[in-house]
């Protein structure tokens, strides 16, 4: 929970009062005047605190006696370093987000239930941005997934903060409130995507995606449709049907629609919903296979973003989300290498490797979504290739697109979210690697340029519509370690990129 308060920090009696301080060259850390500044000066003189990024200074006002820090009534005061000042907006936003995440993490280790956070008014950002990024950092860092664990009193574990109070720090209250609400909605959505991804394969199935979308539609007045196996057979969706053949779980194509006005342009979002990927007949190695429950992070990001869209109801745009959902298992009826399938629209594909399945289900969803909804632009998100990890590590999401304007908008949205993208090339030379002797296309082009040829496969099904593909295989989990990102766990990547794009960019 997070809310704005006009309570004076000096009067706050809760568990933890948080301030932020910027680093300055050979000078005391920059923080607000008053009793906290006096305490920071003492720590700085002792060489214990300079305001570096990630640095913290904790003290207990009651130990100070009358005057000075003793004027504060909070049980504890935490000062968090922001790092050095700068003039790059995305970097400053991330600076605030990381500092807020550090504060939330420390509050959790202190088992603080009620925390008042004073916004850092000295950061060279608009008040709305400061509040937005503070709210994001606090709530994202406060995330826990412990549904399947018993509490262990013998372990020193971080406990989620029950209530965050935000003080404007002298910034315009109206702007702070708007920013806080934007950041809180985005952070909660990212945490919802993390929840979906953290569920085990037997706890989150293709039907779970359908149930979740129906609930979202009821709560936010959106329209939901779910195509089952019978409907897919009639439509000729050989990709989704083929991948699902080895599983006892029936596939689903989940469709969620937000409509502002019929005349407005439509943005189509498509998210890969592989709720467990064993690789099919081309089975994956046993080591690490448990992480393949995360192969649905693209679908989770799309549905989580749609919840915010449904609540914020942006004008001037319609948004339609599709999640093709299935498992990929090596059952007796499973798709085999050498098989040929027919995608929606009639394109035939030779299956070279059944572990290259994500592109098969996305191809059907893209072709169907584009023909049905006539979008102005299309964005898909998928944990598609291990090759993107070889190329970019766990630090940047791979971006491939057939439209520069769309790509530039997503690059900006990623930078503002602290989820950077890196654009890779596309071209006919890569498409040649997918030529088949027996079908229109084959589903893998081999190891060279694996991320690019996977995108080239998808490009076959989008035509001339502006389209961008985000390969999140390296960032959906094990993402760059940050104060507000869980270690070796789902990051919720993509949710805030999509929201930044929708909030800031129009489709013309």
Catalytic amino acids?
284, 359
Count of other CB atoms within 10 angstroms of residue 488? 9
CA angle 210, 313, 172 (to 5 degrees): 130
Q: Are the C-beta atoms of residues 202 and 196 closer than 8 Å to each other?
A: no
d(CA 508, CA 317): 10
CA angle 37, 42, 45 (to 5 degrees): 120
DSSP labels, 8-45: -GGG--SSEEEEEEEEETTEEEE--SSHHHHHHHHHHH
Q: Are the C-beta atoms of residues 99 and 80 closer than 8 Å to each other?
A: yes
Where residue 174 falls (left for φ over 0; alpha for ψ -120 to 50; beta otherwise) is: alpha
Strand, helix or coil at 79?
strand
Place of tokens 């020193």: 156
d(CA 12, CA 9): 5
d(CA 131, CA 177): 7
d(CA 410, CA 498): 8
d(CA 449, CA 431): 11
d(CA 22, CA 161): 24
d(CA 268, CA 393): 28
């Amino acid at each position: 929970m997070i809310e704005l308060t006009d309570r004076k920090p000096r009067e706050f009696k809760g568990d933890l009062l948080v301030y932020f301080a910027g680093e300055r060259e050979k000078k005391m850390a920059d923080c607000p005047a008053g009793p906290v500044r006096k305490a920071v000066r003492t720590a700085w003189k002792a060489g214990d605190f300079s305001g570096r990024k990630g640095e913290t200074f904790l003290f207990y006002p009651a130990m100070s006696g009358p005057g000075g820090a003793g004027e504060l009534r909070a049980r504890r005061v935490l000062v968090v370093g922001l790092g050095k000042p700068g003039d790059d907006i995305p970097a400053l936003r991330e600076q605030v987000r990381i500092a807020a995440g550090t504060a939330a993490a420390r509050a959790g280790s202190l088992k603080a239930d009620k925390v008042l956070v004073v916004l850092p008014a000295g950061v060279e950002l608009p008040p709305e941005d400061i509040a937005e990024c503070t709210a994001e950092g606090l709530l994202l860092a406060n995330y826990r997934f412990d549904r399947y664990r018993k509490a262990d009193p013998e372990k020193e574990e971080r406990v989620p903060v029950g209530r965050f109070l935000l003080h404007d720090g002298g910034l315009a209250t109206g702007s702070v409130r708007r920013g806080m609400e934007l950041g809180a909605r985005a952070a909660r959505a990212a945490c919802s995507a993390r929840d979906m991804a953290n569920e085990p394969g037997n706890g989150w199935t293709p039907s779970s995606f359908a149930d979740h979308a129906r609930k979202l539609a009821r709560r936010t007045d959106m329209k939901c449709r779910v195509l089952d196996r019978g409907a897919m057979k009639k439509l000729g969706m050989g990709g989704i049907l083929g991948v699902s053949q080895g599983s006892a779980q029936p596939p689903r194509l989940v469709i969620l629609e937000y409509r502002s006005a019929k005349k407005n342009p439509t943005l189509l979002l498509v998210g890969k919903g592989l709720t467990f990927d064993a690789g099919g007949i081309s089975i994956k190695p046993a080591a690490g296979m448990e992480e393949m429950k995360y192969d649905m992070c693209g679908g989770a990001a799309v549905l989580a973003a749609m919840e915010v869209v449904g609540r914020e109801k942006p004008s001037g745009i319609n948004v339609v989300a599709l999640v093709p959902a299935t498992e990929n298992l090596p059952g007796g009826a499973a798709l085999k290498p050498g098989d040929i399938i027919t995608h929606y629209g009639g394109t035939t594909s030779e299956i070279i490797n059944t572990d290259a399945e994500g592109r098969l289900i996305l191809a059907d969803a893209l072709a169907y979504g584009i023909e049905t909804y006539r979008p102005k632009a299309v964005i898909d998100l998928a944990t598609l290739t291990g090759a993107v990890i070889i190329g970019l590590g766990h630090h940047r999401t791979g971006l491939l697109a057939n439209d520069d304007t769309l790509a530039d908008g997503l690059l900006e949205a990623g930078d503002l979210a602290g989820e950077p993208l890196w654009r890779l090339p596309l071209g006919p030379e890569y498409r040649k690697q997918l030529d088949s002797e027996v079908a229109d296309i084959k589903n893998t082009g081999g190891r060279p340029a694996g991320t690019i040829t996977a995108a080239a496969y998808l490009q076959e099904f989008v035509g001339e519509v502006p389209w961008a593909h985000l390969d999140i295989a390296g960032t959906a989990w094990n993402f760059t370690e940050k104060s507000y990102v869980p270690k070796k766990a789902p990051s919720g990547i993509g949710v805030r990129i999509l929201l930044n794009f929708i909030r800031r960019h129009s489709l013309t």
